[in-house]
Amino acid sequence: FFVGNGVTDIPLKGKVLRGRLYYVGSPYPLLNLLRKSMVYLLLERNMLYCLRDRLITRQVDAKVETTPDLIIPDEPDLDATIPAHYLHHQMKRLQVYEVGPSRRIEKLWRRAEAALVQISELCREEGTPLVLHLIPAEIQVDGHARSRVLEALGHSAESYDFDYPQRRLREFASRNGIRVFDSLPLMRKEHDPAEPLYIQFDTHWNTRGNHVAGKALADSISVWMNDSKN
């Protein structure tokens, strides 16, 4: 469970047409209705996304320099120009860390939790062990990336609780008898600006990040399996 889009993007349904991904759902009722039209999907994919990036760029340009291009540096560069698309994703996902979530975000949280309960029940019916792996977002682990995002968007760190998603999901898992593995403490411990765990401006783990998290998860599963045998 990725604490960023695991909540905000759960209503997004994707459809591949001629090799291109189109989103045919949305957490916003009006946009959800519009995306039922193929004409709108084509317009959004080919024009409105570009307009969105331009508006985001204009919004933050007074604070930091941005670029509309998709740039992923080959090597870590703490001062690299921030792509507008990266800020757009972070702007949406910041809502899950808000102190006192809005009614809309709380509704999305409950929808995500209901899906996890359903998965847990299906696993129990089939006798399949389940481990809920809580995958932290880059801005939860990398303080420099978090500061740059908040500065660019003009937001204050005091408005957010960056431990909230994991705390909520651990409590949820405990109530529902779901085994949970929270990799946030480990990723924070292993974070090194010279050897980052995330691909810059991408939000996904790099090779090192996958290795660190994967090994820790495998070790935990081995311990749980041995305990169950004993």
162-172 pLDDT tens trace: 999 999 999 99
What's the mean pLDDT in 19-28? 74
* Lowest model confidence (mean pLDDT) among 20-29, 32-41, 196-205: 20-29
Mean pLDDT, residues 190-204: 90
157 or 66, which is more confident: 157
Query: In this structure, are residues 53 and 39 in contact, taking their beta carbons and an 8 Å threshold?
Result: no
CA 32/CA 3 separation, integer angstroms: 22
* More confident: 40 or 125: 125
pLDDT higher than 90, residue 79: no
Report yes or no: 190 and 212 within 8 Å, Cβ to Cβ: yes
- Given pLDDT bands bounded at 50, 70 and 90, which one contains residue 60? low
pLDDT at res. 198 = 93
**pLDDT value of position 40:** 78
Q: How far apart are CA 84 and CA 81, in angstroms?
A: 9
Beta strand pairing call for 66-67 and 82-83 = parallel
Q: For residue 208, what are the contacts with CB-CB under 8 A and spacing of at least 6?
A: 195, 196, 197
- What proportion of the chain, given as a percentage, has pLDDT over 90? 46
Kindly indicate the confidence band of residue 26, based on its pLDDT and cuts at 50, 70 and 90. Answer: confident
Q: Which two tokens stand for residue 176?
A: 């529902």
pLDDT class of 62 with cuts at 50, 70, 90: very low
3 state DSSP class of 13: coil
Q: What is the mean pLDDT of residues 201-218?
A: 92
Question: Would the pLDDT of 130 be above 60?
Answer: yes
